[in-house]
Structure 1
Amino acid sequence: MAPPGGAVLQVVRPAAGGIRRHVIQLAAGLPERGWTVEVAAPPGFALEDAALPHPPPVHLIPIGSRLNPGEDLRAASILRRLGGRCDVGHAHGLRAAWVASLAFGRRKPWLFTAHNLAPPAGLAARIAVRTALGRAAAVVAVSRAAALSLAPLGMPPSRVHVIPNGVDVRRFARGPDRREACRALGVPESAPLVAALGRLSWEKGFDVLIAAAPRILRACPDARIVVAGTGPAEAELRAAAATADAAGRILLPGWLPDASVLLASADVAVVPSREEGQGIAALEAMGAGAPVVASRTGGLPETVVDGETGFLVKPGDPAALADAVLRVLSDEALGARMGQAGRRRAESEFNLDLMLDSLAALYSRLAPSTTA
């Protein structure tokens, strides 16, 4: 029997990186589970480059990154009209949740996903968030850490559904093509490859990896450190890489259309975040079979098992980060064991199908008329 389904409207705040990838996964996987997808997002949120077989309609709404009563009410008015086309609304991020609460209230079932740790907020923001969460039919967090961060905003962790992000391990099934990755990056195929990728912003901590690079390269002079991505800290990171004692061995190739090739070719993947809701980059690295060195912060300890699938280190500590990377690079058998364990963990605990099935089931519970 076909699974129950309906129509879901994904409501997105200004976002790049993890939230955007998450929405792309939903747009690709939910139709197979009976749910059609539409997206309401601010200008600049595009899915044209996502290679989706059936791209969903994207409706533009003027939702910004900060509270703006006039714009928020205008966005809510548009969203309310779009809501007539859907059975369930799904807001991603606290700003999207606030606008969804204005648009839907309790008249239409909608849920909110916390992708990141809730930041400290002033009184007005706390009141807005508390109001929004109180109107949501369900609250989801991508990790226990993200769920706990909502408690000061009036949402007890016991009321939060923890549904981790998922990774499509099938992307890496063909195995690593190291030659292809090294040729594209312009590095020797024999060079130990340290890979990091994500949005180049302060909270991702890529400056910590660049600060750790001299210590890594003194011990392993043939290594190459690749930091892939774009973002507001890109110029600063390029300047730091140019002045580091690295002789051109720190590479910032920008955005990569297929990061899976880089991850599958990496000897170690690094996730040096200062704060992290869960860490999609860590999940993808594990799916690719790469050992992961990550910060012990936010949801990363729920993803990376210290000493088994990689190592966890103190956030913002270049020396500790370098030493953990060198432990992996200096022991090929250890790196292989950790990579295999990480892939098994990604397949069993963070499989994309598990995430999609859990969300589709939650949608059906919120919109029981779709089961008729």
Structure 2
Amino acid sequence: MKIGYITKQHPSNRKAYSGTHYYMFKALEQSFEEVVPFSPVDSNYKIIPKAKGRLLRLLTGKVYKYQYDIGLAKRMASIIDQKIEDHQPDALLASLMNPEMAYVKSDVPFYLTSDATSVLLNEVYGSHSNLHPLSVREAMHLEKKAFEKATKLILPLQWLADSAMKDYGVPSSKIEVIPYGANLDTEISEDEVGQLLQHRRESPIIKLLFVGIRWEEKGGPFAVKVLRSLLEKGMNAELNIVGSEPDIPNQPEGINVIGFVDKETEEGRMRLDQLYKDATFFIMPTQAECVGMSFIEAASYALPAIGSETGGVPEAVIDGETGFIYRSSHTSEEVADWIIAVRKDRQRYSNLSQQAYARYKNQMNWGNWSRKVKDVITLLH
């Protein structure tokens, strides 16, 4: 079976969408006979809605998101239709292309996967709070139309499926929930899990690992508070910060600012691999999150994770089973107390670690995702 894989940026770009397009493409290649990238999908026409956005911002103070412009969506759809004509695929998988698929005319069955809807983006990020009403209407129109045209929605979270049903009227029979995988090249074996657990238990230091570019949004300041609480309680602890280089007022001891690590280089991949292996807990008490790819990556290293009750995080981190879900009512002292209690209880720590890894191996990996996607497409083809 020949699959057309539609993305805005070429899947060879590991930096696009945190590598999701790249790892998704590689997984599809393992399951289908032929996968043809239909990318990049772009149009010079976007200068017009961009200009419209600047004018509306000047006149109203409101933001117009050119990505939801209906004229642009139609032109992007015509580009996709031409690629379909050129390559003659049996089916299409469009990744994070909700608006662009709304006006595709081809009758080739297409499957849509995405990490968010515009309604959820507003709910989690508040991204629509200052949107021009025209943008809000266009976003809803394009997504609803794309969802109606799609053969199936293949979504990574039940949270997204619920939004598709409630906010867009998509029937449950048209939705498949299949979790995404970890955007990493390295994968530890079950034998290595045992070795890592022994190493972590024997380490005299509680090593917290934070991985995120947007420091404030991803809850970096709260992670520092948790470290302070651990130190105040007499614990030997440190916080390794990857992806960000924040200014931390009254920086406590134990902060290691590593900054950006390039996963496109062998050196960067090895560095990140070692940081995950050396960590005791993964912490990202994010204020806004959709899929929570970093938590999946942590699970692939059998790391108990500390996440927050936002977006799809509670599906990536199962509270009490694979980690701890931080709620707004929790203080940094309470999170530190949980860490200390788990750290002192060797069996509890082992259970959390092994359950996180088992969930990754059984559900949250790209091999599982691509096999199930193939089952869905083959059944309906």
- TM-score band by shorter chain is 0.7 to 0.9
Report what 1:124 is aligned to: 138
Secondary structure (helix, strand or coil) at the match of 1:274 reads coil
Report the Cα distance in structure 2 between the residues aligned to 1:37 and 1:317, rounded to whole angstroms.
Answer: 46
Report what 2:284 is aligned to: 271
Deviations 1:168-213 (A, max 9, x none): 89711283898xxxxxxxxxx8532101224426543333323433
The code of the aligned residue for 1:59 comes to P
Change (3 A) 1:204 1:153: farther
Report the Cα distance in structure 2 between the residues aligned to 1:217 and 1:13, rounded to whole angstroms.
Answer: 44
Report the Cα distance in structure 1 between the residues aligned to 2:360 and 2:277, rounded to whole angstroms.
Answer: 14
Report the Cα distance in structure 2 between the residues aligned to 1:310 and 1:18, rounded to whole angstroms.
Answer: 28
Report what 1:75 is aligned to: 76
User: 1:313 touches 1:324 (CA, 8 Å); kept in 2?
Assistant: no
The code of the aligned residue for 1:192 comes to I
Secondary structure (helix, strand or coil) at the match of 2:5 reads strand
Match of 2:255 among 249, 254, 258: 249
Report the Cα distance in structure 2 between the residues aligned to 1:246 and 1:36, rounded to whole angstroms.
Answer: 53
User: 1:191 touches 1:222 (CA, 8 Å); kept in 2?
Assistant: yes
State whether structure 2 residue 3 is matched by structure 1 residue 7.
yes
Secondary structure (helix, strand or coil) at the match of 1:119 reads helix
The two structures, once aligned, show a CA RMSD in angstroms of 3.4
The code of the aligned residue for 2:36 comes to E
Report what 1:111 is aligned to: 111
Report the Cα distance in structure 1 between the residues aligned to 2:285 and 2:222, rounded to whole angstroms.
Answer: 7
Secondary structure (helix, strand or coil) at the match of 2:102 reads helix
TM-fit CA distance, 1:268: 0.6
Report the Cα distance in structure 2 between the residues aligned to 1:133 and 1:195, rounded to whole angstroms.
Answer: 38
Report what 1:205 is aligned to: 219
Q: Which moved more, 1:109-118 or 1:150-159?
A: 150-159
Report what 1:25 is aligned to: 23
Secondary structure (helix, strand or coil) at the match of 1:139 reads strand
State whether structure 2 residue 293 is matched by structure 1 residue 293.
no
* Counterpart mapping for 1:158-197 below 5 A: 158-167=173-182, 171-173=187-189, 175=192, 191-197=205-211
Change (3 A) 1:130 1:16: farther
User: 2:186 touches 2:273 (CA, 8 Å); kept in 1?
Assistant: no
Deviations 1:255-297 (A, max 9, x none): 2532332222210111322333332222221221111122133
Change (3 A) 1:7 1:158: closer
TM-fit CA distance, 1:65: 7.0
Q: Which moved more, 1:312-321 or 1:271-280?
A: 312-321
Report the Cα distance in structure 2 between the residues aligned to 1:146 and 1:329, rounded to whole angstroms.
Answer: 34
Change (3 A) 1:11 1:73: same
**TM-score in terms of structure 2 length:** 0.73
TM-fit CA distance, 1:18: 8.8
TM-fit CA distance, 1:161: 0.8
Show structure 2 runs of 5+ residues with no match.
Answer: 47-64, 123-127, 129-135, 197-202, 263-267
Deviations 1:30-77 (A, max 9, x none): 22322423334xxxxxxxxxxxxxxxxx53524887323454343333
TM-fit CA distance, 1:225: 0.8
TM-fit CA distance, 1:143: 1.0
Report the Cα distance in structure 1 between the residues aligned to 2:66 and 2:173, rounded to whole angstroms.
Answer: 28
User: 2:215 touches 2:221 (CA, 8 Å); kept in 1?
Assistant: no
User: 1:212 touches 1:321 (CA, 8 Å); kept in 2?
Assistant: yes
Report the Cα distance in structure 2 between the residues aligned to 1:264 and 1:30, rounded to whole angstroms.
Answer: 28
User: 2:208 touches 2:237 (CA, 8 Å); kept in 1?
Assistant: yes
Q: Percent identity, please.
A: 18
Report what 2:34 is aligned to: 36
Secondary structure (helix, strand or coil) at the match of 1:175 reads helix
TM-fit CA distance, 1:26: 2.5
User: 1:169 touches 1:288 (CA, 8 Å); kept in 2?
Assistant: no
Deviations 1:3-51 (A, max 9, x none): xx212223247998794433222322222322423334xxxxxxxxxxx
**TM-score in terms of structure 1 length:** 0.75
Q: Which has the larger radius of gyration?
A: 2
State whether structure 2 residue 333 is matched by structure 1 residue 337.
no
Report what 2:363 is aligned to: 349
Report the Cα distance in structure 1 between the residues aligned to 2:225 and 2:289, rounded to whole angstroms.
Answer: 20
Change (3 A) 1:330 1:300: same
Secondary structure (helix, strand or coil) at the match of 1:66 reads helix
Q: Which moved more, 1:258-267 or 1:321-330?
A: 321-330
Report what 2:42 is aligned to: 61
Deviations 1:87-114 (A, max 9, x none): 3222222xx1211222x24622212113
